[in-house]
Structure 1
Amino acid sequence: MSDLKIAVIGVGKMGSFHVDSLTSRIRGAQVTVVSDYSAEQAEKVAAPVGARVVADPLEAVGASDVDAVVLASPGFAHEKQVLACLDRGIPVLCEKPLTMDGASSYEVVKAQAALGRELIQVGFMRRFDNEYVALRTLIESGQVGAPLMLHCTHRNPAVPDTFTSEMAMADSVVHEADCTRFLLGEEVVAVSVIRGVPTSAAPAGVSDPMVVLFETESGRLVTVESFVRTQIAYEVRTELVAEKGSAFIGLDQNLQVKQAGPTGTGIWGGTITPDFVARFGQAYDTQMQTFVDAAREGTVAGAGVWDGYAAAAICEAGVQAVRTGERTAVKLEARP
C-alpha cells in the first residue's frame, strides 16, 4: 500500500512536532501539504520535508495530493475545517478542542453520523500514553477493586498573561475531562470549581491554582489541581483510589541521581519534563501511527467525535462553574 498523503494545517509548536513525527518516526505516511496563517512559518516547516505550501486551509483539505488531514490550527477554525474533511470523505486527526463549544461540537457529531462513516479522531493523546493505558488496564482487571476516586494534578511552568481562568479549564483541564471518561468508562455529569489564593505570578483577577471537581454518573469523584504558572516544569499525575488498593502514574522517576554535595553532604534529585511534548512524546507518536494505520484503511481510531463533544460539554460547564462559583450540570444531547 502506498504512503498516506497528509496535509498538516497549523504548524506552530504542535503542528511542527506532527510534521517531524510523520517524516522521521511514523511508517506509511508522507507530508505533502502544509498550511498556516503565517506564510513564512509554513515555508520554514514545509521546505525540509519536501511538502508544498497551500495558504487556504480549505484548499489544502481539497487538494488532490491529500488523503488525510492533521489539524493543529487554532480551535476557532476547527469546525469549518473538520466539516470540510467530512464533505470530502477523508480522515482527520483534530487536535483538541473539536470545536469551541458543545453546541457546534454536537453539530459535527450529527454530520459524521449522517455520513455513516467514522472519519474524525480527536487528539486526546493521553489515551496512547503507556502509563494511562496501564492504569486503565488495571482498573478493568478488577485487581484493586472498584474505582472510587481519581486525584489529578495538571501543572504548567508558565503561560501568557492573557491565559485566563476560563482558558485553564478549556485548554488544560480538558485533558483530565477526557481521561476521566477514558479511565472510568462513564460520563461526567457535574463540575464544581474552588478558587483559592492565587499565585503572585497570576495577573489580577485570575485564579491560579484552582481545584476542579468532576462527578460521574455513578457518583465517583475526580479532583483536578489546575496550576499553570508553577514556574518550575510540566507535571501531570493521576492517582487512582479503589476499594482494594490504589495506583499512581506520572511520578517523573525515570532517573534519580545521588552525588556528593558542595559542603560534603549528599544530594539527590532528577529532572522534571519541561513541557507537554517532552512528557507525552511517546503518546503523540503512538497516536499518530495509529491514526495513519487506520486512515490507510479509510477510518480512524482513538478518541472519536463523541469524545470530543463530551469534553467540550464538560469544559463548557466548567467555565460556567469558574464564573459563578456554583456546581454546574453537564448537559449532553442524545447520542446519534
Structure 2
Amino acid sequence: MIRWIETHVSLSVRAGLALFGAVLLWSSSFIALKVAVAAFDPMVMVFGRMVSSLAALVLLRFTVWRRSAAPLLLDRRVTRREWKYVILLALCEPCFYFVFEGHAMVYTTASQAGMVVAALPLAVVVAAWLALGERPHPRVWAGFALAVIGVVWLSAGAEVTESAPNPVFGNILEALAMLCGAFYVICAKQLSSRCSPVFITAVQSVVGFFFFLPLLALPMIPLPDHFPLLPTLAVIYLGVGVTMLSFLLYNFAVRTVPASRTGAFLNLVPVLTLLMGMVCLGERLTPGQWAASALVLGGVVLSQWKTGRATEAVDGGMERGSV
C-alpha cells in the first residue's frame, strides 16, 4: 500500500494530505486532553502519552520500517552544532509545550484553547523576529495585535463552569504553550532538510520521556491507583495518534509544503477544534466569544494577506535564516 502511494501519488499531494492529517489530529487532541485530565494529573497524562508514543515508534521501526535506512535516534548527518537545536526543538515541544497545555486544559475549555492556538502562525513570525532577526511587514504586526486583542477578549468573556473553573488562567497557559510551539516550528523548519521525520519524532519522544519521568516523583503529583477506560484510551490516543503520528506527518510535510501553505493549514485547527468541542463535549461559546474568535481569525487572515512584502514576511519567518 505504501509503495503504491509512493508510485502513484505525487510528493506535493502526499505532503498536503500529511499536513491535513496532522492538523486533524492536533485539533482532536484538545478533546482527548479534556477527557484525560478529568481522571489523571496533567503530568501523569503527559508521561503516559510519551510512553505510548515511544512504544509505538519503536514497534514501527522494527516492523514496518525494519528495512528502512532512516535512523531512529543516531543520525550521522546531524552535526554537533545542529544537535543543540535538535534538543532545543524537543524541549520546546513536547516538553514545555505539554507542561503548559496539559495544565491549561484543567482550567479552560477545548474550544477556547483551540482559538488561542489560532494565533500560532503569527507567533511563528514573532519567534522568527526574535530568534532570526527577521523584520515582519507592518501588516503582520497589525494582524498580531488584532489576534492578541481577540484572545484577551475571548478570555475576559469566558464563563466559569465545572469543566472550565478558571478560563483566563487556562488561556494564558495555552498562550505560553503556543509560544513554545512557535519556536518548535522555527527549529523544525531549519532541521527538516537534514534530519528525517522518524529521527526528529524519535528524539522528541525520548527527550519527553526522560523529561517527564522525574516529575512523577514530585509530592504534589498524585499517581493514579486505577485507570478508567475512556481516559486511558484518550492518553494512548494522544501518544500514538497525536504525539507520534501527527509529528511524523508534520515533519514529513514541512520538508515540501511552503511556509505560507503551512500557516493556512494551521488556521483550520481552531475551527475543527471548535466543531469537535461542540459535538463531543457539548461546549458552547457566548456571543461575545464568537466575536472575539472572529477577531482572532481575522488577525491571522490579515497577517497572511497575499500581497507582496506581507506574504514574504510571513514566509520568511518560517523559511529563512538559521536558528
Identify whether the pair has TM-score above 0.5, normalized to the shorter chain: no
TM class by smaller structure: under 0.3
* Greater RCO structure (CA 8 Å; 6+ sep): 2
Output the TM-score relative to the length of structure 2. Answer: 0.23
Write 1 or 2 for the structure with the bigger share of strand.
1
Give 1 or 2: higher helix fraction. 2
TM-score by length of 1: 0.22
